[in-house]
Amino acid sequence: SVLLWEFDDHLIVISAQDGNELSQLTIRDFSITSSVVLKSLDKFAIYAEDLVESQIEHLIINSNDSKSFPVPSGIGMIGVADTNTIRDVVMWEIKGTGIQIGYGSEIRISGGRIIGAGIRFDASIGIHCTGNNGGVHIENTDIIALGTGILIANSSGVGSNREIFISHATIDSNGRGLVIRDNSYVSIIGIWAASSTIDQVFIDENTTAVLSISGGTIFNGGVYECPKVSDWCNGLTVRSGKFILNGVEVRNNNGRGIWIPNKSVTQYHIIACRIFANGQGLNVTGSSFMITNNICNSNQLPNAISGTETSIVLNNLGC
């Protein structure tokens, strides 16, 4: 079945008349096609208020004319979002937000694709965790060609998100790939963060975020354009919080492979990584950090490492 979306409002609205939570719904096996009118970017194909214990699966959300009538936003879980699964949903040329997650716990996004318009500098977001959710799992999902791939932030004002788990997702060809702007614990296994223009992974200032990345690659920053090589086109940029980077290939970023510009970043660990063919491999500062057992090779500029008085930099080759 195909639902034609021919008006400027949410297409499917799910809400309880009495203001209570709605539970145990299954939405599956149809397509939504945007048509006829240009829609506001904050309008969702599926707009669900206080949805819990439910599944949305096997949908296609697209447009029959992506230039004239692009898909604004995909799935919005507004208010409470708890114990919901989004499985194998494919969205094409999203101009707004692919999936927006409210507060609660145990949200699982498995498989599927969220594809933007390829502009990289628009307001589009692939997955937006808006605040106070924990146990969010993003598994084997393509998040490609958006302004921001994944945004983790207290955007709604209800508090920081708690735990976000990203496993073998593809974060590719965005303006920025993964952006953290709150105090979450973010665990990534088998990272693919590549070909974004500004940063592949970015932790903003004024957070106490804890980021753990194990395996995979951070790759190809600025491959499409690099107009500000002084602070764009980087692999991993950390402006606050703490992180551990273990067994990751950081390569072919036109800016810096790993950039830590603020001394307030402490207690981080870069271990057993290969950092090569970047504009600069490491440009880091901070305190109480460890950089051990890494290989650096074929980076255009020499590394710049400061803050070593309270730190350990040991057993590296070429770093």
210 falls within a domain: yes
Q: Whole domain around residue 247: which residue ranges?
A: 205-319
DSSP 301: B
Q: Is 148 domain-assigned?
A: yes
pLDDT at residue number 87? 99
Task: Give me the CATH number covering residue 47.
Answer: 2.160.20
pLDDT for res 54: 99
Please report, in angstroms and rounded to a whole number, the separation of the first and last CA atoms in the chain: 57
Tell me the pLDDT band of 256, cut-offs 50, 70 and 90.
very high
Query: Nearest 5°: phi and psi at 153?
Result: -160, 160
Q: Across the strands, what pairs with 140? A: none
Alpha carbons 153 and 27: distance in angstroms, whole number? 27
Check whether residue 74 and residue 21 sit in a common domain.
yes
CB atoms under 10 Å from CB of 144, counted, come to 20
Cα 292–Cα 257–Cα 217 angle in degrees, nearest 5? 80
- 244's CB contacts (< 8 A; 6+ apart) are 211, 212, 213, 268, 269, 270, 271
Number of compact structural domains in the chain = 2
Which of 174, 194, 227 lies at the terminal end of a domain, its last residue?
A: 174
Least confident of 9-18, 127-136, 232-241, 308-317: 9-18
d(CA 112, CA 137): 13
Asked if residue 16 has pLDDT above 90, the reply is no
User: Of 128, 156, 174, which residue is a domain's last?
Assistant: 174
Q: What's the rounded mean pLDDT across residues 73-92?
A: 99
pLDDT average, residue stretch 8-22:
92
* Sign of the four-CA dihedral 57, 96, 127, 91: positive
- 78 inside domain: yes
Domain presence at residue 194: no
Are 301 and 230 in a shared domain?
Answer: yes
Q: Which pLDDT belongs to residue 19? A: 79
Torsion-angle region of 64 (φ positive above 0: left; ψ -120 to 50: alpha; else: beta): alpha
Residue 167, pLDDT > 90, answer: yes
Residues 296 and 221 in one domain: yes
Please check whether residue 66 lies inside any domain of the structure.
yes
> For the chain, what percent of residues have pLDDT higher than 70?
100
158 and 47 together in one domain? yes
The reported pLDDT for the residue numbered 268 is: 99
Looking at residue 15, its amino acid is S
What one-letter code names the amino acid at 198?
Answer: I
213 and 66 in one domain? Answer: no
Name the token pair of 297: 């090779």
| Domain limit, last residue, from 152, 174, 196 | 174
pLDDT value at 118 more than 90 = yes
Q: Decide if pLDDT at 311 tops 90.
A: yes
CA 226 from chain centre, in angstroms, equals 20
What are residue 309's phi and psi, to 5 degrees? -60, -35
Question: What average pLDDT does this structure show over 106-118?
Answer: 98
pLDDT at 289 over 90: yes
So what's the pLDDT on residue 17? Answer: 80
Confidence (pLDDT) at 5: 98
pLDDT interval class at 116 (50, 70, 90): very high
What is the Cα–Cα distance from 266 to 276, expressed in whole angstroms?
A: 24
In tens, the pLDDT along 195-229 reads 999 999 999 999 999 999 999 999 999 999 999 99
pTM over 0.85: yes
Does residue 80 form part of some domain?
A: yes
pLDDT of residue 315: 98
Asked if the model's pLDDT at residue 3 lies above 90, the reply is yes
Give 138-160 pLDDT, tens digit per residue.
999 999 999 999 999 999 999 99
* Chain centroid, CA 38 distance in Å: 27
Q: If pLDDT is split at 50, 70 and 90, which confidence band does 253 have?
A: very high
pLDDT of residue 18: 81
Do the domain assignments include residue 265? yes
Asked whether residue 191 is assigned to any structural domain, the reply reads: no
